[in-house]
Amino acid sequence: MSDLIGYARVSTTDQDHVLQRNALDAAGCTRTFTETASGALRDRPELGKVLDYLRPGDTLVVWKLDRLGRSISHLIEIVTALGERGIGFRSLTEGFDTTTSGGKLIFHVMAALAEFERDVIRERTTAGLAAARAEGRVGGRPSKLTGAKLEHACALRDAGQHTVTAIAEIVGVSRSTIYRALGEEPAKTPVRAGGR
């Protein structure tokens, strides 16, 4: 037997689920899972419980689309996974229902638009990186080892009076940065027999 199962979520403890629960009860939900958590969180305990509880033929019902997903792509991911398990999805406020042919059509259009948006972002990012490389710019965090610090580190190394650890402390960077910059291999610490 198929059931309508509700999921209600509020973001903070000073909000309550009453409005959502009343709407879900009026829609005929036989059970409603309630949660107090930010929509930005991907892992929400009650959402995990309701997704585990649902069986083929059931329909997950929410008051509004934003109660379920933290973004359009996250919402599409959840609804797609439900559909693959033979579970419907309904949002009361937007009148969205994947158990109807119109709802399925709207969902596929949403999924196609989200995919299109991801492709456009990917293309823009790739083009931007290529343009930056052509101009000699590379992304990433700027190095802490400036030209002046590198010269100082080389002079200290050439003087032969300081260890790599001491040089790193003097110029204000990590030992691994010094090893990389000077093209040296870190010394291996010998392992004693019978211990770590």
What amino acid positions are annotated as catalytic residues? Answer: 11
Sign of torsion over alpha carbons 89, 92, 93, 98: positive
Tokens for 159, please give them.
């003087």
The answer to whether the CB of 89 falls within 8 A of the CB of 65 is no
The answer to whether the CB of 110 falls within 8 A of the CB of 76 is yes
Q: What is the DSSP string of 120-159?
A: HHHHHHHHHHHHHHHTT---SPPPSS-HHHHHHHHHHHHH
- Rounded to an integer, what distance in angstroms lies between the CA atom of residue 142 and that of residue 18? 51
The answer to whether the CB of 140 falls within 8 A of the CB of 116 is no
Side chain identity at residue 97, one-letter code: D
